Structure 1
Amino acid sequence: MSLKSTVIFLLSLITVMAKAQIDTAKIKSYADQVMVRVNIDTNIERYVFTEGPEDKPLETILSINNKTRASFSVDYKIISGTVSFTPNFLPGNNDNELKGSSSYADFRFRFFPKKIIQTVYYKKVKGFYIENMQDFFPEWKEGKDAYLQFPDLKIQSFGGSTAYVMKKDFSLKSIYTQGEWQKESRGSWVPVIDYDLSIFTDIIDGRKNRDTQYSIGASMGYFYNWVLGKKNRVNIAPNVGLGLGGMFSSTRDILDDGTKSSKENTQYLTIRFATGLHIGYNTDRLLFGGKFNVTSSAYNEKGNQNVQNNNLYGLIYIGYRFPPPGVVKRNYDKIQKKIPIL
């Protein structure tokens, strides 16, 4: 199925669900419980560079080797924290001889004051390889020949997003972190502002290259939470969003004598697309499920070159809720008195 067909299908599905939604949805909160969760996810990070004429474009696809991660998350009240890492014992994370060594680290926190969802994160990715080798070397054999590698290419991102849930009785938290559970089907429009600082560094021919990118964008998404079963314990939640943004890039080289070259500043208009699906099962103590998200942003560089960053993310999770230990509750209550927003 093409990307265009997928978007049309999701928009049609969401429109049908939105017409059938109930105006008196009820939400059960688990804010007074501590939730711990173990996740296994596949995160495919790709950068696609396309240049040349439209009838015969040439693509260069850069990808990371480590694609399967494990993460551990803890939720309590409006705070949600997740730590991720890439264990070597998982399948697909040890093909270093052919694809080189990659590393991926992601630290993400979410806060939920009323209808706002605030996310902040830090992400570091290092070690890429060219995925489409046969487009450049027809004699190249997959599984036998090594990929062309960029072991020193590193990307560090500091960023965040601010989302606002427009519908009164819709719980986006039930989809993001399962800190709530929606008992009746409902949907909502969710405007989002996102922003990040990304630093690209690489060593080419013994010379260090540094590219700093500042991005800000706005998008509008629609989320629907479809609740099923006699006891309302199963949910299916699709979402789709579109947006525009601006990116400001500053590039410079480190010369052989240690001095820095002059900056080259450029500005780009970016187009953003996101879609996803969450399926979950919930009880007051045990919960499990999975989700699949696709995000993509693209912009045009000089000439006929197009740059696209695609991220495909799939996750399976299992979690457990329990009353908070006394020391945790007391300390949180003390902090809440000083910071009422918590």
Structure 2
Amino acid sequence: MRILTFILLNFCISTFAQNDSINKNVISYDEKIILRFNLNTNIDNYVISSRELDIKPRLNLNNKINTTFGIDYKFINATISFAPDFLQGNNNDLKGKSSFTNYTFRFFPKNIIQTLSYKNSKGYYISNTRDFVSDWQKGKDVYLTFPDLRIQSLGGSTSYIFNKNFSLKGIYYQKEWQENSSGSFVPSLNYDYVIFSDQLNSIKSREHQLNLNFDVAYYYNYVVTKHFNIAPFAFAGLGKKWSNYKSDITKSEKEKQNFFTQNFGAGLHLGYNSDKFFFGSKFNYSGNHYEDNGSNITNNDFYVLFFLGYRLNAPAKVKKVYEKIQDKIPAL
């Protein structure tokens, strides 16, 4: 971490020193309303390993594909994600019933990207059921399930883009288009409040977690042609997790613990852009790891995303509403 801090500080100094002499080579679409549709496989899974167990249970949602609808204008981005039953691979009869929704709002004041989100998922199954049931047959037998396991999270992140010639908004939200190749360090402060609840054999349990972590990412946007770009990235960080657990067995007593967490990930973006249409794909991996009483808890999230969008002119009434808001909040 000392090496990353040293690199980051030197990069910041050189970037700020050049701010007055560099022109921003970015095309903005802030005046447009942006409509977006995504298909992705962004489904959380949890892997639990323990010194007492040779087998690692793998908890998954019974969903393979999520859909996302989004709308952008000026400083705000809003999306809703869910896993519809009619898509093939969602809610397989042998894996129990699952549900998933995710609401996200993003704001873009200057070089900051502020994200707020609420996620709700319920109904998990053990994907490696064969490791626990010797005569279990894939495709014929029912998986071990936790139908009442529910995970709710409310949180967000605050990211700062140091290099004004680099457009993270262009890579992830198609609000801009970067004309020349460049990269940037992007430090982020991430925070969320998570509630795990379950009912197993009439015994109710609930765990509350508060997570806080800081990570440093580096993105590079390689502009291949006037309309096509490739953007890899990687990040790493450390954090802290506070947890308290309560069940019908412990009754009024709560088990309180705290852990240090490790966060890491990488990904690749491929995109096509024109003034009206854009489309592309993303390949992302992120992981979170911590130890709990000899058990290693890992939350892995690998997914592929395909996006398609269209930009249109904003109606006059929408522009007037924004201007009134901007008069009250000049920073937007």
Task: State the TM-score, normalized to the length of structure 1.
Answer: 0.88
Q: Which residue of 2 aligns with 1:267?
A: 258
Is the contact between residue 82 and residue 107 of structure 1 (CA under 8 Å) also seen in structure 2? yes
SS, match of residue 63 in structure 2? coil
Give 1:276's match in structure 2, choosing from 267, 279, 297.
267
Q: Which residue of 2 aligns with 1:58?
A: 55
Q: How much has 1:260 moved relative to structure 2?
A: 3.9
Q: How does 1:188-337 map to 2 (within 5 A)?
A: 188-229=184-225, 232-254=226-248, 260-303=251-294, 305-337=295-327
Once residues 286 and 71 of structure 1 are traced to their aligned partners in structure 2, the CA distance between those partners, rounded to angstroms, is 17
Q: Which residue of 1 aligns with 2:183?
A: 187
SS, match of residue 184 in structure 1? coil
Instruction: Give per-residue Cα distances to partners, 1:80-107, cap 9 Å, x unaligned.
Output: 1101121111110131x20000001000
SS, match of residue 337 in structure 1? helix
Once residues 185 and 77 of structure 1 are traced to their aligned partners in structure 2, the CA distance between those partners, rounded to angstroms, is 24
Once residues 274 and 262 of structure 2 are traced to their aligned partners in structure 1, the CA distance between those partners, rounded to angstroms, is 39
Once residues 184 and 34 of structure 2 are traced to their aligned partners in structure 1, the CA distance between those partners, rounded to angstroms, is 25
SS, match of residue 43 in structure 2? strand
Once residues 23 and 54 of structure 2 are traced to their aligned partners in structure 1, the CA distance between those partners, rounded to angstroms, is 52
Q: Which residue of 2 aligns with 1:74?
A: 71
Code of the residue aligned with 1:83 in structure 2: it is I
Divergent runs of 4+, >4 A: none
Is the contact between residue 39 and residue 316 of structure 1 (CA under 8 Å) also seen in structure 2? yes
Is the contact between residue 276 and residue 291 of structure 1 (CA under 8 Å) also seen in structure 2? yes
Once residues 195 and 101 of structure 1 are traced to their aligned partners in structure 2, the CA distance between those partners, rounded to angstroms, is 29
Is the contact between residue 25 and residue 186 of structure 1 (CA under 8 Å) also seen in structure 2? no
Instruction: Give per-residue Cα distances to partners, 1:6-55, cap 9 Å, x unaligned.
Output: xxxxxxxxxxxxxxxxx7661000001111011111122111000127xx
Q: How does 1:101-140 map to 2 (within 5 A)?
A: 101-140=97-136
Q: How much has 1:168 moved relative to structure 2?
A: 2.3
Is the contact between residue 24 and residue 164 of structure 2 (CA under 8 Å) also seen in structure 1? no
Structure 1: gaps of 5 or more residues:
1-22
Which sits farther off after the overlay, 305-314 or 236-245? 305-314
Instruction: Give per-residue Cα distances to partners, 1:146-165, cap 9 Å, x unaligned.
Output: 00000000000000001111
Task: State the TM-score, normalized to the length of structure 2.
Answer: 0.91
Is the contact between residue 25 and residue 182 of structure 1 (CA under 8 Å) also seen in structure 2? no
Once residues 164 and 309 of structure 2 are traced to their aligned partners in structure 1, the CA distance between those partners, rounded to angstroms, is 27
Q: How much has 1:285 moved relative to structure 2?
A: 0.6
SS, match of residue 89 in structure 2? coil
Instruction: Give per-residue Cα distances to partners, 1:193-232, cap 9 Å, x unaligned.
Output: 1000000000022121010000000111100000012xx1
Q: How much has 1:128 moved relative to structure 2?
A: 0.2
Once residues 24 and 146 of structure 1 are traced to their aligned partners in structure 2, the CA distance between those partners, rounded to angstroms, is 60
Structure 2: gaps of 5 or more residues:
1-21
Once residues 63 and 262 of structure 1 are traced to their aligned partners in structure 2, the CA distance between those partners, rounded to angstroms, is 30
Is the contact between residue 119 and residue 153 of structure 2 (CA under 8 Å) also seen in structure 1? yes
Once residues 164 and 94 of structure 1 are traced to their aligned partners in structure 2, the CA distance between those partners, rounded to angstroms, is 38
Code of the residue aligned with 1:242 in structure 2: it is A
Aligned-residue identity in percent: 47
SS, match of residue 58 in structure 1? coil
Between the two proteins, the alignment pairs up a number of residues equal to: 311
SS, match of residue 138 in structure 1? coil
SS, match of residue 31 in structure 1? coil
Instruction: Give per-residue Cα distances to partners, 1:273-317, cap 9 Å, x unaligned.
Output: 1111110000001111111111100101112x1000111222111
Q: Does 1:88 align with 2:85?
A: yes
Once residues 73 and 289 of structure 1 are traced to their aligned partners in structure 2, the CA distance between those partners, rounded to angstroms, is 15
Code of the residue aligned with 1:251 in structure 2: it is Y
